């Protein structure tokens, strides 16, 4: 049974989708939900599911990423994860941290990478007049939002869309895509998932 740690920063809706998918004959189980924000609403959702939780507040560390990550590693390594899923995790990780998990760390990004790495993806898609948008699950490498793609889901951009209405439509697909990718990844299958 593969052990999955999930890193969150906020509501954790992707974490919930992942956690709730790991049951029955699924080859993985969640063993830790870890946040950089002790107030993250997702922590209560994880605890309600009986999943161990931990939080390391990044703010006291200021710009010292290495010191923050040294603390973050403690509960993470203690959980002995086989796979680490970044799910709405909003901190940039150093190459040193990434390299500890390279090849077994995934992230979900709310754009059709390689378009729109970084922030404000929906605003940028709308400003560009794109006919479609979506989300991508990729392996995490030291280059931000640039690792091998493991899945993508597309949604139409509709007339009158705002960043919020587009984000809402994409989020629904994130909750389908990430579990589908994790189920394959947990058995070593890196065949990309494309939705619809
Ligand atoms: C969402 O914007 C999602 O697109 C991105 O992270 C944000 C929060 O996700 N992946 P979650 O609800 O905390 O999973």
Q: Give the pLDDT score at 2.
A: 98
Residue 8 has a CB neighbour count (10 Å cut-off) of 29
Write out residues in the chain with pLDDT < 50, as ranges: none
The answer, yes or no, to whether any atom of ligand 1 lies below 6 A from the CB of 54, is no
Residue 194 lies in a domain: no
The answer, yes or no, to whether any atom of ligand 1 lies below 6 A from the CB of 134, is no
Residue 91 lies in a domain: yes
pTM above 0.85, yes or no: yes
Range of the domain at 159: 2-188
Residue 85 lies in a domain: yes
Identify whether the C-beta of residue 49 lies closer than 8 Å to the C-beta of residue 19: yes
Q: Give the pLDDT score at 166.
A: 98
Residue 195 lies in a domain: no
Looking at residue 62, what DSSP letter applies?
Answer: T
The answer, yes or no, to whether any atom of ligand 1 lies below 6 A from the CB of 14, is yes
The answer, yes or no, to whether any atom of ligand 1 lies below 6 A from the CB of 174, is yes
Which residue among 12, 87, 111 is best mutated to probe the pocket of ligand 1, counting the most ligand atoms within 8 A of its Cβ? 87
Please count the structural domains in the chain: 1
Identify whether the C-beta of residue 95 lies closer than 8 Å to the C-beta of residue 131: no
Residue 159 lies in a domain: yes
Distance 144 CA to ligand 1 centre (A): 16
Q: Which atom of ligand 1 is nearest to the CA of 16?
A: 14
Residue 196 lies in a domain: no
Give the residue whose CA is nearest to atom 9 of ligand 1.
88
Q: Give the pLDDT score at 151.
A: 98
Residue 29 lies in a domain: yes
Provide the CATH number for the domain around residue 96.
Answer: 3.40.50.170
For this structure, is 120 an active site residue? Answer: no
Identify whether the C-beta of residue 123 lies closer than 8 Å to the C-beta of residue 95: no
Residue 193 lies in a domain: no
């Amino acid at each position: 049974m593969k052990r999955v740690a999930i890193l969150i920063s906020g509501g954790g809706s992707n974490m919930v989708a992942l956690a709730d998918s790991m049951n029955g004959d699924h080859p993985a189980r969640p063993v830790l939900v870890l946040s950089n924000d002790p107030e993250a609403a997702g922590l209560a959702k994880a605890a309600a599911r009986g999943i161990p939780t931990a939080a390391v507040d990044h703010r006291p560390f200021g710009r010292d990423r290495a010191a923050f990550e040294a603390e973050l590693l403690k509960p993470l390594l203690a959980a002995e994860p086989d796979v680490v899923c970044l799910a709405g995790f909003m901190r940039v990780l150093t190459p040193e941290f990434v390299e500890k998990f390279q090849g077994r760390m995934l992230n979900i990004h709310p754009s059709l990478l390689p378009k729109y790495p970084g922030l404000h993806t929906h605003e940028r898609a709308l400003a560009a007049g794109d006919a479609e948008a979506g989300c991508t699950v990729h392996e995490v490498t030291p280059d931000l939002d640039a690792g091998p793609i493991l899945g993508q889901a597309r949604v139409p951009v509709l007339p009158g869309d705002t960043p919020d209405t587009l984000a809402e439509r994409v989020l629904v697909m994130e909750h389908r895509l990430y579990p589908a990718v994790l189920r394959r990844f947990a058995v070593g299958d890196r065949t990309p998932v494309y939705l619809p």
